Amino acid sequence: MSRIFSGIQPSGELHIGNYLGAVKNWVQLQHTHDGALFCVVDYHAITGNYDPAVLRARRWEMAKSLFAAGIDPTRAHVFLQSDVPEHTELSWIFTTLTPLGDLERQTQFKDKSSKVESIPAGLLMYPVLQSADILLYRADAVPVGEDQIQHLELARDTARKWNARFGEGYFPEPKPLLTPTRRILGLDGQSKMSKSLGNTVGLLETDDEIWAKLRPAVTDPQRVRKTDAGRPDVCNVYQLHKAFSDTETQANVVQQCTTAGWGCMDCKKVLLGNIVEELTPIRHRAAMLDAEPARILDALADGGRAARAIAQETMREVRERMGLDAVHPPRA
């Protein structure tokens, strides 16, 4: 059976893009794959300027949100990346195998580095650490959103290179597991929903907060008046219906939109109802966890222990195969 690993940055709140693209899939996969590993990748969240107090709070909130979303610590291991130092050790080893050009070609690097004056090397090295995150557990299936496909190609290249030099077949070549909602746009309808772009709907937001964001959300730009027929295929609100509404409602949305039966506001109100229906139980579970923080602490401690056990064994084998194990005098 394949081993599942995936990670999420505590660089902001868990949003519906993360949820639909990845975390909802994690919740399902934990039932078919024992011991799946889900990591709050805090080392990835320090590549830019940050406030340590804010990071501390976000790590906690991210772990809580994952449990609230339905990750069950008796089925899956949830842990903090910085609780397992072997991530950074394997990352250095992979750095030595990675061509600079491959890193400079990564779309996410080009995108993020174009927005800063001085580019931190951590931004460039991000996919190397990500390869280490995955391969440390010798995971072969990685449930992620579409934006991570290119990084996983690099992880596969790295696994092949290391295997060719040090141990054929040792590291599996990890494959992405995508959901039908592999790329959710922000409510601006322009760019990927992203913590750093401030265009998100948080998983734990109240109904009023969600509506305040959904009400002005961009729809089909050509639909100016209610009497204009809309084009669901170019409308981000329809894409969100596909994620949150049942097939009957989706068909009705198409019918009402293309015949100018509903205005965009009517369509958004139906969507709001369906988002609220899906997110309310998650919010309730988060409130219960707020009242019992020890459950989060215990789950993270257990997850960290389980992750370290696998990571330490991998590093023992990696060091041995690379000539980095216990030193001894030369044999005569």
Please pick, from the candidates 138, 192, 231, 308, the single residue that binds ligand AQP as defined by CB under 6 A: 192
Please pick, from the candidates 13, 147, 153, 266, the single residue that binds ligand AQP as defined by CB under 6 A: 147
Q: Find the part of the chain contacting ligand AQP (CB under 6 A) among 178-186, 213-221, 243-251, 292-300.
A: 178-186
Nearest one of 65, 42, 102 to 296, comparing CA atoms: 65
User: Residue count at the site for ligand AQP (CB under 6 A)?
Assistant: 20
Name the residue nearer to ligand AQP (CB basis): 98 or 194. 194
- Restricted to residues 17-76, the positions that interact with ligand AQP (CB under 6 A) are 17-18, 21-22
**Residue 236 is a binding residue for ligand AQP (CB under 6 A):** no
Q: Are 236 and 189 in contact (CB under 8 A)?
A: yes
What tokens were used for 285?
């579970």
Name the residue nearer to ligand AQP (CB basis): 73 or 145. 145
**Residue 242 is a binding residue for ligand AQP (CB under 6 A):** no
The residues that bridge with 39 in the sheet, in sequence order, are 7, 79
Name the residue nearer to ligand AQP (CB basis): 42 or 86. 42
Residue 292: CB atoms within 10 Å? 10
Please pick, from the candidates 90, 129, 134, 145, the single residue that binds ligand AQP as defined by CB under 6 A: 145
Q: Find the part of the chain contacting ligand AQP (CB under 6 A) among 145-153, 243-251, 267-275, 312-320.
A: 145-153
Please pick, from the candidates 148, 158, 245, 314, the single residue that binds ligand AQP as defined by CB under 6 A: 148
Please tell me the distance from the alpha carbon of residue 214 to that of residue 268, in angstroms, as a whole number. Answer: 7
Name the residue nearer to ligand AQP (CB basis): 50 or 287. 50
Half-sphere exposure of 258 (CA within 13 A, CB side): 11
Residue nearest ligand AQP, CB atom distance: 21
Please tell me the distance from the alpha carbon of residue 51 to that of residue 38, in angstroms, as a whole number. Answer: 24
Residue 37: helix, strand or coil by DSSP? strand
Q: Are 15 and 45 in contact (CB under 8 A)?
A: no
**Residue 183 is a binding residue for ligand AQP (CB under 6 A):** yes
Nearest one of 311, 286, 316, 296 to 14, comparing CA atoms: 286
> Is 195 a known active-site residue?
yes
> Is 192 a known active-site residue?
yes
Please pick, from the candidates 77, 156, 195, 268, the single residue that binds ligand AQP as defined by CB under 6 A: 195
Name the residue nearer to ligand AQP (CB basis): 21 or 172. 21
- Restricted to residues 7-26, the positions that interact with ligand AQP (CB under 6 A) are 7-9, 11, 17-18, 21-22
> Is 110 a known active-site residue?
no
Q: Sort 242 into a burial class: Cβ within 10 Å, 0-12 / 13-18 / 19+.
A: middle
Catalytic-labelled residue, pool 161, 192, 242, 269: 192
Name the residue nearer to ligand AQP (CB basis): 77 or 195. 195
Please tell me the distance from the alpha carbon of residue 217 to that of residue 204, in angstroms, as a whole number. Answer: 19
Least distance between ligand AQP and beta carbon 233 (Å): 18
Please tell me the distance from the alpha carbon of residue 101 to that of residue 230, in angstroms, as a whole number. Answer: 44
What residues contact 307, with CB distance under 8 A and at least 6 apart?
Answer: 37, 39, 77, 79, 83, 84, 137
What tokens were used for 191?
């760019």
Residue 210: helix, strand or coil by DSSP? helix
Residues serving a catalytic function are 112, 192, 195
Interface contacts to ligand AQP, rule CB under 6 A: 7-9, 11, 17-18, 21-22, 144-145, 147-148, 182-184, 192-196
